[in-house]
């Protein structure tokens, strides 16, 4: 793919804050890729809270183990239901390896017809095949991958069919026993048999709109410990994860924020304080969000936590945290100070003011230009269709946002020069990130309410060098989730963790991607597996995927095409 140098209206070339030409653009390739699903989420007026919060989530996954990222997309429903046989269903798209996808939902057996909210994909039983978990407004579903292109619904026997309104999910091995445990965030106890109870009206900027979630009864989150035999046990209370506030949970993240070698948990809550659960290393957690500085904004306000992501944006060796919020409020960047505490640096980083007009959802630290510094993508879309009737300076459909990392702790919004795909206005919710075309740069799939998703192909990011890793655990969980990888090239050291569950109710390409800039090799690669095993590799050539097998080193090397 050839990078395109965009010209600005004043003449000359658009440049980043570092002075380099902006040579990446995102292009909408949804139609040519064959992504045809139009998601459903309630009525057009969005009078009930459940109608406004879902509308699309997805995950990249390689379900058939052919080296190409496939896509699983959850669909919604409506309160009055649908005639039998006409219900919206989730869809699975198989990557054909040529930039197109083929829908294989029926033959794969993954067409769940509940009101879908979120999904993630991970190998929960360590058999080498990626399974799918779906969070629903209604009973959740676990699909076991049979290894032959089909799946089996094993929800009941696995014991993970939470019947409430679930939203975000994430996988991580919290107790280091070699298999993946599951955290499920729940939102509101919403009784469809007493629907008028929830038809509350809120006055927002002088107009009547859907109300919530304040005043509604929150639903407690649930934590499932993997028993290692295909079943799970509700271990919420025993692990110290009791949802004391019944917070309106959305995004769930597993990450080692305090660098002690075990996975902690962060929950972005809507309109109540966010949670940070520190892993005590003995099978229990302690909630430390307030003392760590990530429960509230800098001025002590509860925010409308929607999406969230951990990432080392300043390349100082620890994981920082970004949380998306409602309009008339800012998204929040918490810098990890390396001592178990965070500082809200939103406005000094340049991420505050540009976010104020937008309702923000899916997000990710992605190095879209492969310069070695993590940039930031934010999916946006309002919850009130009524805003289009007034001159508030905001609209129901909104454009997504892209921020370039200036390498000095600040970001610059570059949406306007980032290609035609970034100028599209939709009512977006979730977003999933991955290299679907295996060309060495990160693409984005954005989920839109009542509309097709938008598949944004990255054109030009692979003008710089890159390196990818796929982790295969032996003592650790098979996916290697929780492994931490450091890459040093040209004097710069970057760090990422392997994770599943991020953004807004989505999962991402599980392969770990690093931009290398102009460096054609990684001088040093270091991986710390969840088991504690540390391995090092030197002088790895760029523009390749390295499959690392725990205890056995480099298992395989795949060279993708790179065109400049």
pLDDT value, residue 16: 56
Is the per-residue pLDDT at 4 higher than 50?
A: no
Number of H helices, E strands in the chain: 5, 40
Can you tell me which residue has the tokens 């993946």?
180
- List Cβ neighbours of 117 (8 Å cut-off, separation of 6 or more): 53, 54, 57, 74, 76, 135, 136, 137, 165, 166, 167, 505
* 126 membership: H or E segment, kind and range: none
Is the per-residue pLDDT at 227 higher than 60?
A: yes
| Partners of 203 in beta bridges | 208
CATH topology of domain 25-194+216-559: Methylamine Dehydrogenase; Chain H (2.130.10)
pLDDT value, residue 511: 99
Interval 289-331: pLDDT, tens: 999 999 998 989 888 899 999 999 999 999 999 999 988 889 9
Mean pLDDT of 238-255: 94
Is the per-residue pLDDT at 370 higher than 70?
A: yes
Question: Smallest Cα–Cα separation from 296: which of 254, 338, 329?
Answer: 329
For residue 171, is the peptide bond before it cis, meaning its omega torsion is within 30 degrees of 0? Answer: no
Q: Are strands 342-344 and 332-336 parallel, antiparallel or unpaired?
A: antiparallel
Mean pLDDT of 510-520: 98
Read off the pTM: 0.94
Interval 333-359: pLDDT, tens: 999 999 999 999 999 999 999 999 999
Interval 31-49: pLDDT, tens: 999 999 999 988 777 778 8
pLDDT value, residue 240: 98
Q: Give the Cα separation of 270 and 208 in Å (integer).
A: 20
Give residue limits of the domains in the chain. 25-194+216-559
Report how far apart, in Å, the C-alpha atoms of 497 and of each of 159, 257, 339, 460, 484 are.
28, 10, 19, 25, 4
Percent of the chain with pLDDT over 70: 94
Q: How confident is the model at residue 205 (pLDDT cuts 50, 70, 90)?
A: confident
Tokens matching residue 20: 């380099």
Interval 435-479: pLDDT, tens: 999 999 999 999 999 999 999 999 999 999 999 999 999 999 999
Q: How confident is the model at residue 504 (pLDDT cuts 50, 70, 90)?
A: very high
Interval 158-177: pLDDT, tens: 999 999 999 999 999 999 99
Question: Smallest Cα–Cα separation from 481: which of 502, 454, 505, 461?
Answer: 502
Tokens matching residue 41: 């989420």
Percent of the chain with pLDDT over 90: 79
CA atoms within 13 A on the CB side of 98: 4
pLDDT value, residue 442: 98
Q: How confident is the model at residue 7 (pLDDT cuts 50, 70, 90)?
A: very low
Interval 93-144: pLDDT, tens: 999 999 999 999 999 999 999 999 999 999 999 999 999 999 999 899 999 9
Tokens matching residue 524: 């040093």
For residue 203, count CB atoms less than 10 angstroms from its CB and return exposed for 0-12, middle for 13-18, buried for 19 or more.
Answer: exposed
């Amino acid at each position: 793919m050839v990078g395109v140098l965009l010209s600005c209206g004043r003449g000359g070339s658009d440049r980043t804050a570092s002075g380099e030409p902006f040579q990446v653009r995102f292009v909408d390739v949804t139609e040519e890729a064959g992504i045809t699903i139009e998601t459903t989420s309630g009525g057009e007026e969005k009078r009930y809270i459940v109608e406004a919060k879902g509308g699309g989530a997805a995950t990249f996954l390689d379900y058939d183990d052919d080296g190409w990222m496939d896509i699983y997309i959850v669909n919604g429903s409506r309160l009055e239901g649908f005639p039998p046989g006409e219900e919206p269903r989730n869809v699975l798209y198989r990557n054909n390896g040529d930039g197109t996808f083929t829908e294989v939902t029926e033959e794969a057996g993954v067409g769940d017809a509940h009101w879908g909210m979120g999904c993630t994909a991970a190998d929960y039983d360590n058999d080498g095949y990626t399974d799918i978990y779906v969070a629903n407004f209604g009973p959740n579903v676990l699909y076991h991958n049979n290894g032959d292109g089909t799946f089996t619904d094993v929800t009941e026997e696995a014991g993970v069919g939470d019947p409430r309104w679930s939203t975000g999910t994430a996988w991580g091995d919290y107790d280091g026993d070699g298999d993946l445990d599951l955290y499920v965030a729940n939102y509101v106890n919403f009784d469809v048999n007493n629907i008028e109870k929830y038809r509350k009206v809120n006055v927002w900027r002088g107009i009547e709109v859907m109300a919530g979630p304040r005043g509604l009864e929150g639903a407690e989150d649930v934590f499932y410990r993997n028993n290692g035999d295909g079943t799970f046990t509700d271990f919420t209370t025993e692990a110290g994860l009791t949802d004391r506030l019944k917070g309106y949970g959305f995004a769930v993240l597993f990450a080692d924020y305090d660098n002690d070698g075990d996975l902690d948990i962060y929950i972005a809550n809507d309109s109540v304080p966010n949670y940070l659960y520190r892993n005590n290393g003995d099978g229990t957690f302690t909630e430390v969000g307030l003392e760590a500085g990530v429960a509230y904004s800098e001025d002590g306000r509860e925010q409308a936590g929607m999406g969230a992501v951990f990432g080392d944006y300043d390349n100082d060796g620890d994981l920082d945290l970004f949380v998306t919020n409602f309009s008339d409020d800012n998204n929040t960047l918490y810098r990890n100070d390396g001592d178990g505490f965070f500082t809200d640096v939103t406005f000094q980083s340049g991420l505050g003011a540009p976010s104020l007009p937008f309702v923000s959802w899916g997000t990710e630290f992605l190095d879209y230009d492969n310069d070695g510094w993590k940039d930031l993508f934010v999916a946006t879309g309002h919850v009130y269709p009524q805003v289009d009737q007034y001159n508030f300076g905001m609209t129901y459909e909104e454009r997504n946002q892209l921020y370039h990392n200036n390498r000095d702790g600040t970001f610059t919004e570059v949406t306007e020069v980032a290609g035609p795909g970034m100028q599209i206005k939709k009512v977006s919710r979730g977003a999933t990130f991955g290299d679907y075309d295996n060309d060495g740069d990160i693409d984005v799939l954005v989920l839109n309410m009542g509309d097709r998703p938008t598949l944004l192909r990255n054109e030009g990011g692979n003008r710089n060098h890159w390196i990818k890793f796929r982790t295969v655990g032996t003592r650790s969980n098979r996916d290697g989730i929780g492994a931490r990888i450091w890459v040093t090239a040209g004097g710069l050291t970057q760090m990422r963790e392997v994770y599943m569950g991020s953004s807004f109710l989505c999962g991402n390409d599980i392969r770990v991607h690093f931009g290398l800039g102009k460096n054609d090799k990684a001088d040093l690669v270091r991986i710390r597996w969840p088991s504690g095993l540390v391995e090092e590799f030197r002088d790895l050539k760029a523009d390749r995927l390295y499959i690392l097998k725990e205890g056995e080193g480099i298992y395989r090397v795949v060279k993708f095409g790179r065109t400049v």
